[in-house]
Each structure stands twice: as C-alpha cells, then as structure tokens.
Amino acid sequence: MITINAFEGEFTGGKDFSVELASLTEGVILGSLSRASVVINDLDHPMAPFVGNWKGTSKEEFSGSTINLTYDIIVDPNKPDEFDRLIITTVDPYVLGIPVELVGIGSLNADGTGRIVIPNEQSLGMDLNAGPGVYMGVDAATYAGASVYSDIYMNLNADGTMTLVNGYGVFDNQYIYGFYQGGCTLTK
C-alpha cells in the first residue's frame, strides 16, 4: 500500500516513481505487466496563479483595429527545476496566424500580485521580408522612432486579472509587423 499525503497550499514538488511486482504468493501467475510508472503532479506550484488561458483585446497600432489576444501560459515541462520558467503560447493575428511559444520568467509577491518578463528578441521561428522575425517590446512613448526596445511585461493584479504593460510587435531587420498597444487587461 502507498499512502499519499496532500499538503494543501504547500508546494512539495512532483513525484515520479515505479512500482514493480517481484515476489508472488504461491499459485499466483505474473502477467506481462509487472511494472507501472506513477507520476504525481503538485497542484500548488508557485507559478500557478499565472497558469491558464488568458484573453483580452488591444489596438493594433497601424490599422487602429481592435485585436483579440489570447495567451496560454504553462509551467515549462522541460525545465521542472526552474520554478519561475513559463511558456507563453500565443497566435499572432498579424503574422500568418501561426502559434508561437515564448519563454517568460515569473515572479510573485506575498500579496498575490506578480510579473512575467518575456525577454525581447525571441524568435518567431521564420524569416520575414527583411530577415528573421523576433518579438520585441516597445515603449509606446518611443514607438514613433521604434528605436527603444524592451522586454515584454505582463503584471498579475490583485483582482486576478493580468495587464499587458507595454506594447509589442514582431520585427525583422527593417519592418514592424502587428504592433499591439500595451495597457490591455487580460482575464482567465
């Protein structure tokens, strides 16, 4: 018998182990399946408040049209020891409508608020007109010259919403594709 103790509200980490039947009682025949793998995921992950499907609307700078934005945020399954590493998947409506995975680093405050920082220059995974496409944050105040780039910031608010703090877009060596204005509110 295996006893699993739940520690509600406390992150103890996921567990991975195997169970194997090795010694049988007389008269019992062991079938072909004598080993089982067990995976237990801890639901109290420190980044759990960020995880989920977030939606909101923003203005696209060039057309002025309202754009629906969606972000699926998960803890990076390939880096389980890096508790603050998040994968943000979004479909960029202006760049061929393809899904893109971005890596972000989350941090939470004691009051439940927090921030995701998505480092700039993450690859779109394809070349555009004048070179490889990369995501770049842009401060709206400096957008006119598009010369000051930054990381992309998303703030987790006390009311459980998230704010896309600054604008961002996809850039190649010469052009900007789909610049989304910051300040939009995202909800799960």
Residue 69 inside a domain? The answer is: yes
CA angle at 157 for the pair 124 and 9, rounded to the nearest 5°: 100
Q: Is the pTM of this model over 0.85?
A: no
d(CA 96, CA 106): 28
Amino acid at 153: Y
Tens digits of residue pLDDT in 125-158: 767 776 777 888 876 544 455 556 788 899 999 9
Q: What CATH number is attached to the domain comprising 60?
A: 2.40.160
Amino acid at 149: Y
Residue 12 inside a domain? The answer is: no
First to last CA, the chain: 39
Residue 118 inside a domain? The answer is: yes
Q: Are 93 and 178 in contact (CB under 8 A)?
A: yes
Q: Which residues of the chain have pLDDT under 50?
A: 141-143
Enclosing domain of residue 118: 48-186
**How far out from the chain centre does Cα 29 lie?**
48
Residue 178 inside a domain? The answer is: yes
Residue 143 inside a domain? The answer is: yes
* Number of domains, the chain: 1
**pLDDT score at 72:** 92
Residue 21 inside a domain? The answer is: no
